[in-house]
């Protein structure tokens, strides 16, 4: 998900889209939603209930 420009953020479009994605994932019995957020967007996702994914392992590939 991309960050929104301030006028769009005021309307709450980002939160509405995230809520729809979470509802969609729950309806399909998904176990988790995994993000790779920008530093700027971390507070947004934290307010939506996201936290560190300590149960995952990752292998980051170069470019």
pLDDT digits (tens, 9 = 90+) for 3-60: 666 665 566 899 999 999 999 999 999 999 999 899 999 999 999 999 988 888 888 8
Q: What is the predicted pLDDT for the residue at 18? A: 95
State whether residue 44 is helix, strand or coil: helix
- The pTM of the full predicted model, rounded to 2 decimals, is 0.71
Separation of first and last alpha carbons in the chain = 20
Q: What pLDDT score does 30 carry?
A: 94
The upper half-sphere exposure of residue 59, i.e. CA atoms within 13 Å in the direction of its Cβ, equals 0
pLDDT for residue 49: 94
Task: Kindly state the tokens that stand for 2.
Answer: 């991309």
């Amino acid at each position: 998900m991309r960050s929104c420009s301030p006028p769009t953020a005021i309307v709450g479009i980002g939160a509405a889209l995230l809520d729809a994605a979470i509802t969609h994932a729950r309806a399909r019995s998904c176990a988790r939603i995994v993000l790779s957020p920008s530093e700027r967007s971390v507070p947004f996702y934290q307010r939506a209930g996201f936290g560190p994914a300590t149960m995952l392992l990752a292998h980051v590939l170069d470019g």
